[in-house]
Structure 1
Amino acid sequence: MTERWPTLRRWLSLPTTRIGLVLLTIVLAISIIGPLVWDLDPLTTDAVNGYASPSGDHPLGTDRLGRDVLARLLAAGTMSIIAGVAAVGIGAIVGIVIGIASGFIGGRFDAVVMRVVDVLLAFPMLLNALVVIAIIGPSMTGAVIAVSVSAIAPYARVLRGTVLPIRTATFVKAARVSNTPLHRMLRVHVLPNVRDVALVLLVIGAGNGIVVLSALSFLGIGTQPPDADWGVLLTEGVRAVYFVPAAAVAPAVMLLITVLGINLIGEGLGTTLRTDRRPHA
């Protein structure tokens, strides 16, 4: 515990970390507290006031069905963030387990697993997600599953590469000679040495997951109306950009700030962990 506090203080002292935390705090505050302050129903339609310009009643205007853009933006924030983090988290856990097992076991198992991973890495993450969506059908749940599946390969490849030098380390060879059980070798010798890499990848991957989920919704195969995430709002905003420009700009800005904040936090975390990096024997 005593070793962690200097690392935490060093991480919090970095300008990138502080800026990232500020940006992410702003987005989370808007998404969580905003709906409590601006309590208009994001699903209430008013055909008479479709494409209304920003006003006191509708600060960001309305969409073509007269729904308040600000209310929909606030409601979409929580869904976008939670779904993106959950999707990447699921994919990361599976990918990390596969990567560690493949790198540590080696042999034919490693060869087969890595060939499958290579095939998946040959295509962009978004394209892999589109294939999964085509199989299971468009929906928010389907989009989360699609992003999770497409996130497995990158994590597996990186963690496998991290484990390879550990497998041949002297302390692992000594553990093998002493007939140390496999689960103990993984827990004592492998996991502490890959934990930092996995943590940084998980943080940075969360931003990528939010972007891919929004892209799927923007294409109409993620979240389905009347529900909305930032991708759905971008689609609606593009249609209304000549009438209510704020409807297109607002979700894009929220997405930009969120991903930028997460990436800055991940960059600060990576810098700190590289500085404090010590091998665990």
Structure 2
Amino acid sequence: MIYGASPTRTHPMDAYAGPSATYPLGTDNLGRDILARLLHAGVLSIPAGLLAVGLGAVAGSLLGIASGFIGRMFDTVVMRVVDVLLSFPTLLTAIVVVAILGPSVTSAVLAVSIAALPSYARVMRGSVLPLRSAAFIQAARVSNTSLPRMLRVHVLPNVADVLVVLLVIGMGNGIVVLSALSFLGIGVQPPEADWGVMLTEGVRAIYTAPVAALAPALMLMLTVLGINFVGEGLGAALRVDVSSRRTR
């Protein structure tokens, strides 16, 4: 419950009511408070987007780092699989995963994670390749440092700044994909509030009650724009060229 209004409580007699003191942004087709649903959707969408991208980033980064550092046949096999996955649009990959697992918030989060994984694997592999011939890596090998310790102590700290920037920027894309899945009816399920669900419900009355569709669309746009600005600023501060490393 947010600011005293429930995002799921219906008031059929107040359906599509205009903005007022009772309903600051009006109501939707079932008389639910749009502002309450808008804020509640943010509480769900932002953490879900961060979790989804975080899982994909961790798994993809570990795979990419191992692939770039180990090389040889392992690198070849992993990168060919990554190339195949990258040939499909992120949303299409996510739709296929949700179709297999069934529509739910958990399935949508896993779908976005799997869809994001190959991009992080490719980027992190490219970041690791120049380190293989670095003097401190050669010294670690001469001193018989184990591979796990070499990756943890010598490799990961040198690519952490790239990973952090890409993770922040990728979070915006994760929120968009999650909302797109909900918009298509295979992500968050009604009556749970989500920007994608709100858009689906709002476009049905775009001419008679435009706020119902414009409010979630604007909130989604501003959220992703703000995240991208933070990512760009973080990239500038850490001197990471995000324009050439941005994930798909």
What TM-score do you get using the length of structure 2 for normalisation? 0.93
Q: Name the CA distance, whole Å, in 2 between partners of 1:216 and 1:254.
A: 17
Match in the other structure for 1:160: 125
Q: Deviations over 1:227-273 (max 9, x none)?
A: 02111111111112112111111111111111111111111111111
Residue correspondences, number: 240
Instruction: Tell me if 1:53 matches 2:4.
Output: no
Q: Decide whether the 8 Å contact of 2:38 with 2:216 is kept in 1.
A: yes
CA distance in 2, matches of 1:132, 1:143: 8
User: For the aligned residues, what is the CA RMSD?
Assistant: 1.2
Name 1:213's counterpart in structure 2: 178
Give percent identity, aligned residues only.
68
Per-residue displacement from partner, 1:178-226 (whole Å, max 9, x unpaired)?
A: 2122122112221111111111111100111001100110111100000
Q: Which amino acid aligns with 1:251?
A: P
Q: Is 2:8–2:193's contact at 8 Å kept on the other side of the alignment?
A: no
What are the within-5 Å matches in structure 2 for residues 245-264 of structure 1?
A: 245-264=210-229
Given residue 266 of structure 1, which amino acid in structure 2 is its aligned partner? G
- In the alignment, is the contact (CA less than 8 A) between 1:42 and 1:72 conserved in 2? yes
5+ unaligned residues in a row in structure 1: which ranges? 1-34, 276-281
Larger RCO of the pair (alpha carbons < 8 Å, separation 6+): 1
Superposition deviation, residue 39 in structure 1: 1.2
Provide the residue aligned with 1:149 in structure 2. 114
What is the one-letter code of the residue matched to 1:76?
A: A
Distance 1:184 1:69 in 2: 52
- Structure 1 residue 114, shift from structure 2 partner: 0.5
Alignment pair present for 1:231 and 2:196: yes
Which residue of structure 1 aligns with residue 153 of structure 2? 188
Aligned partner of 1:91 in structure 2 is: 56
Partners of 1:54 and 1:244 within 8 A in 2: no
Native 8 Å contact 1:50 1:63 kept in 2: yes
Cα-to-partner distance string for 1:89-135 (whole Å, 9 max, x where unaligned)? 11110001101011111111111110110001001111110110110
The 5-angstrom pairing of residues 33-52 of structure 1 reads 36=2, 38-52=3-17
Q: 1:174 offset after TM fit, Å?
A: 2.2
Task: Please tell me the residue identity of whatever aligns with 1:53.
Answer: G
Question: Could you list the per-position Cα deviations for residues 43-81 of structure 1 after superposition, in whole angstroms to 9, with x for gaps in the alignment?
Answer: 111222212222222121111111111111121110010
The separation in 2 between residues aligned to 1:204 and 1:85, in whole angstroms, is 10
1:62 and 1:252 map into 2 onto residues whose CA distance is 16
Q: Show structure 2 runs of 5+ residues with no match.
A: 241-248
Alignment match, 1:114 = 79
Q: Counterparts of 2:39 and 2:235 in 1: how far apart (Å)?
A: 31
SS of aligned partner of 2:144: coil
Residues 125 and 151, structure 1, Cα contact 8 Å, conserved in 2: yes
Is the contact between residue 94 and residue 152 of structure 1 (CA under 8 Å) also seen in structure 2? yes
AA at the equivalent of 2:163: A
Query: Of 216, 219, 222, which aligns to 2:187?
Result: 222
1:41 aligned partner, one-letter code: S
Corresponding residue for residue 274 of structure 1: 239
- In 2: Cα distance, 1:179 partner to 1:42 partner: 59
Please state whether the residue corresponding to 1:92 is helix, strand or coil.
helix
